[in-house]
Amino acid sequence: MKKLNILYGTIEKFFFRQDGQTEFLSFFRVAIGIVIFLQFTAVLPDFDKLFSSSSIIPQDIMSVFTPDWLITFSKIVGFLQSFGMEESTTIIITKVSFITLCIGIITGFYSRFAAVFLLILQISLLKGSSFFAYGADFFTSMSLFYLILFPADQHFSLRNLIFRRKPIQNNITPVKRLFQIHISMAYFFSGLDKALGFNWWNGEAIWKAIHLPYSNRDLNIDFSWLAEHSYLLSFIGWSTIIIEMCYPFFIWYKPTQKTWLFLTVSMHIGIALVLNLYYFSAIMIVWNITNFYFEQPAKKTEVSSKKKQGVYIPDQMGV
């Protein structure tokens, strides 16, 4: 019974101990807001070709793979057209709204509300044009979800500056732990999926990746010499599997946390430069820094009369 109490106390402390860290909140809000803003502005010149009725792939084809209950941008356009609003007007309003909501998140002006509406708008665009979606779009949705859960505008925000509000001390540890576990599981199963095949072990996956049509278009590096040094391709493949599968183990272990964070961030920088997946890599780097760069050892001075007796009482949640 005593061991169960100790185990329960340890788990409770892990998920509910308030450490007072808030820097990661401001960093996550501002960094993700900037990445989403830049990602959207990058597609603005081709917005009509991707999301409008005159898109490259007809909306009728894309709607075949979309459930009827799901709200998509084409359905929003059709709904507003029934009230006499032209599609071009809806597109302009959508562009302005998206950019405005991004600015609201970056500046911390009611970022939770901005994240809610931006998530709805982003999913309607994503699901309505799923043929054009890739990993960065899905991680964008998840990032907005965490911005809804986190009170990210409690610190370093325009809202507090305008209304002269003092930051409210909320216990955000439960959501932070959820975020950390989420990214740990994502890396582990990504690495496990690579390990179950053979083309990551022999370097074939790396060779194919660096020769994809959209890869290596900015730096234009000549990788032909790797054909005579295939062991380097195998080494990169093995390294990727090890970094991802071992992520949950070494990122939580304090002596190796910074090292594994550096290896993971370096991996994504390489992906960005070679495969030109800038937004995906940027989001993953932000996720890594948010979750583990600001981690600090537990404060030894954090005691109470109850704790001295061996009883741990978690702070009240204010998320």
pLDDT per residue over 247-280, tens digit each? 999 999 999 999 999 999 999 999 999 999 999 9
Give just the sign of the alpha carbon dihedral 74, 29, 31, 173: negative
What is the rounded average pLDDT of the residues 189-194? 96
Domain count, the chain: 2
What is the rounded average pLDDT of the residues 68-95? 92
pLDDT of residue 311: 44
Task: Quickly state the pLDDT bin for 297 (edges 50, 70, 90).
Answer: low
Are 132 and 221 in a shared domain?
no
* 305 pLDDT more than 60: no
Domain annotation covers residue 202: yes
Q: What is the CA radius of gyration of the chain?
A: 23
Are 109 and 138 in a shared domain?
yes
pLDDT of residue 125: 92
Domain annotation covers residue 14: no
Domain annotation covers residue 84: yes
Are 91 and 212 in a shared domain?
no
* 20 pLDDT more than 80: no
Average pLDDT, the chain: 87
Domain annotation covers residue 9: no
Domain residues for 81?
20-163
Are 44 and 146 in a shared domain?
yes
Domain annotation covers residue 6: no
Min mean pLDDT across 15-24, 99-108, 223-232, 244-253 is at 15-24
Are 183 and 66 in a shared domain?
no
Q: How far apart are CA 152 and CA 171, in angstroms?
A: 12
Are 56 and 129 in a shared domain?
yes
Domain annotation covers residue 306: no
Domain annotation covers residue 288: yes
List pLDDT tens digits, range 40-67: 999 999 999 999 888 898 888 888 878 8
pLDDT of residue 296: 63
Are 132 and 212 in a shared domain?
no
Are 36 and 149 in a shared domain?
yes
Angle 254-255-257 from CA coordinates, rounded to 5°: 60
Domain annotation covers residue 2: no
Are 77 and 181 in a shared domain?
no
Are 25 and 149 in a shared domain?
yes
Are 217 and 264 in a shared domain?
yes
